[in-house]
Amino acid sequence: TKAVTIPSLNAMRAAGNKISMLTCYDASFAALMDRCGVEVLLIGDSLGMVCNGHQSTLPVTLAEVAYHTAAVARGSKSAMIVADMPFGTYATKEAAFDNAVKLIQAGAHMVKIEGGAWLADTVRFLTERAIPVCAHLGLTPQSVHQLGGYKVQGKTIESADQLRSDAVLLAESGAAMLVLEAIPAGLGKDVTDILAIPTIGIGAGPDCSGQVLVMHDLLGVFPGRKARFVKNFMDGQTTIDAAVSAYVNAVKDGSFPAPEHCF
185 to 56, 105, 212: CA distances (angstroms): 25, 36, 15
Q: Which of 4, 9, 46, 70 binds ligand KIV (CB under 6 A)?
A: 46
- Residue with smaller CB distance to ligand KIV, 181 or 190: 181
**Interface region with Na ion, contact rule CB under 5 A, candidates 37-45, 202-210, 234-242, 247-255:** 37-45
Interactions with ligand KIV, residue window 121-180 (CB under 6 A): 179
Burial state string for 77-116 with b = 16 or more CB within 10 A and e = fewer than 16: eebbbbbbbbbebbeebeebbebbebbbebbbbbbbbbbb
Tell me which of ligand KIV, Na ion, none is bound by residue 24, counting a contact when its beta carbon lies within the kind-specific cut-off of 5 to 8 angstroms: none
Rounded to a whole number of angstroms, the minimum distance from the CB of residue 136 to ligand KIV is: 6
Rounded to a whole number of angstroms, the minimum distance from the CB of residue 238 to ligand KIV is: 26
Helices (H), the chain: 6-15, 27-35, 47-50, 62-75, 93-106, 120-128, 144-147, 157-172, 185-194, 215-218, 240-252
Catalytic site residue 181? yes
Query: By three-state DSSP, how is residue 101 classified?
Result: helix
**Interface region with ligand KIV, contact rule CB under 6 A, candidates 41-49, 68-76, 92-100, 222-230:** 41-49
Please report, in range form, the residues annotated as the binding site for Mg(2+).
45, 84, 114
Measured over the CA atoms of residue 74, residue 76, residue 82 and residue 86, the dihedral's sign is negative
Asked whether 182 and 151 are in contact (CB, 8 A), the reply is yes
Q: Is 20 among the residues that bind ligand KIV (CB under 6 A)?
A: no
Q: Is 44 among the residues that bind Na ion (CB under 5 A)?
A: yes
Residue ranges that bind Na ion, judged by CB under 5 A = 44-45, 84
Which residues are identified as catalytic?
181
Residue ranges that bind ligand KIV, judged by CB under 6 A = 23, 42, 44-46, 84, 179, 202, 212, 214
